[in-house]
A and B are shown apart, each in its own frame.
Chain A
Amino acid sequence: GAVVSQHPSWVICKSGTSVKIECRSLDFQATTMFWYRQFPKQSLMLMATSNEGSKATYEQGVEKDKFLINHASLTLSTLTVTSAHPEDSSFYICSARPPAGGAGDIQYFGAGTRLSVL
């Protein structure tokens, strides 16, 4: 299956600093990438949809100025958590979707990034 690489897998930062998480599709071009947040023992909550070359679409209640998303190429999207605070501590997961077509509905997920804000 297709591989989505997410980096870093774990990051600890001080309150007030910014953290960047990268999501790469390694063997396919991803016109669309998605960013999710997952709290312990809960489901995945979609934060935003990222299309290459255009602004991300954020879900209701997600602060776009706090969670900056950039999708500069067909294989890379980044999520920057700006001025992180302890309540931002969570598991962040990206997914990537191949171009439209037979497999266009499938989303392949990265391994996730655990963010701990002290």
Chain B
Amino acid sequence: QQQVKQSPQSLIVQKGGISIINCAYENTAFDYFPWYQQFPGKGPALLIAIRPDVSEKKEGRFTISFNKSAKQFSLHIMDSQPGDSATYFCAASEGGGSRLTFGEGTQLTVNP
């Protein structure tokens, strides 16, 4: 019940295209859903996060869509750029500063 399932495992997108990564969870107590970006040999960096009281949050080219009834959330990267090539992790926590549960990760490659 603590798992967060992420797909796809890898994704190849052309420059300017839209990258979409999906995550699903089971634990209905989760109330904080961040996305992290990780480059090789570096620690994860927080990209964007959402709470269940909204269905969508947009920051620049990055948008989180959240479907509470389906227990799913997704990351959309608009106008994808080669510099976006990295591994993306979704995560979830029960809030109040509790531990994060991470998805398996998606390796995104944006071709020039």
Q: Which residues of A contact B (CB under 8 A)?
A: 1, 4, 6, 31-32, 34, 41-44, 46, 49, 91, 93, 95, 97, 100, 104-112, 114
Contact A43 B46 (CB under 8 A): no
- Is there contact, CB below 8 Å, between B43 and A105? no
CB neighbours (8 Å) of B96 from chain A are: 100, 104-105
Once the chains are docked, how many angstroms separate the CA of A97 from the CA of B46?
Answer: 12
For this complex, 18 residue pairs linking A to B, each with C-beta atoms less than 8 Å apart, are: A1-B46, A31-B97, A43-B102, A43-B103, A43-B104, A43-B105, A46-B99, A49-B99, A91-B41, A97-B97, A100-B96, A104-B96, A105-B96, A106-B34, A106-B46, A107-B34, A109-B45, A114-B41
Residues of B within 8 A of A4 (CB): 43
Instruction: Enumerate the 6 nearest inter-chain pairs by beta-carbon distance, A residue then B residue, closest first.
Output: A109-B43, A105-B32, A112-B43, A111-B43, A104-B97, A109-B44
Q: Given B44, B46, B93, B97, which contacts A44 in the complex, CB threshold below 8 Å?
A: B44
A100-B97, A105-B93 known; 9 new pairs, CB 8 Å cut-off, are A41-B107, A42-B105, A44-B102, A46-B99, A91-B41, A97-B97, A109-B44, A109-B45, A110-B43
By beta carbon, the residue of chain B nearest A93 is: B43
The CA-CA distance from A46 to B102 in the complex, in Å, is 9
Flag whether B95 is at the interface (Cβ < 8 A).
yes
In terms of DSSP, what is the predominant structure of the interface of chain B?
A: loop
Q: Which residue of A6, A43, A49 contacts B89 across the interface (Cβ within 8 Å)?
A: A43
The 8 Å CB contact of A32, one of B36, B45, B46, B97, is B97
> B100–A111 contact, CB under 8 A?
no
| A42 vs B32: C-alpha distance when bound (angstroms) | 22
What is the 8 Å Cβ interface bit string for chain B, positions 27-55, against chain A (1 contact, 0 not)? 00000101010000111111001000000
